[in-house]
Amino acid sequence: MLQQQLAVDLGLDANATIFEICTAIDAQGLDIEAILDSLEVD
């Protein structure tokens, strides 16, 4: 469930793999702390 929410927050399909999620984080240059904080709000 956490993986699905993280994928959706990154603009990916809910069924995205952890590898796709990591690639999206790297490509977008996102702040990991901000991503984790966004999961806490959801």
Phi and psi, residue 15, nearest 5°: -95, 15
| pLDDT of amino acid 35 | 74
| pLDDT of amino acid 25 | 86
Per-domain residue ranges of the chain: 2-41
| pLDDT of amino acid 18 | 92
Q: In this structure, what DSSP letter does residue 12 have?
A: S
| pLDDT of amino acid 41 | 57
Please give the structure tokens belonging to residue 5: 């929410």
Report angle CA 2, 11, 4 to the nearest 5 degrees: 20
Q: In this structure, what DSSP letter does residue 28 have?
A: H
Q: Other CB atoms closer than 10 Å to residue 18's CB: what's the count?
A: 10
Which tens digit of pLDDT belongs to each residue from 1-42? 788 988 998 899 999 999 999 898 888 887 878 777 877 655
Give, in order, the Cα–Cα distances in Å from 3 to each of 8, 17: 9, 8
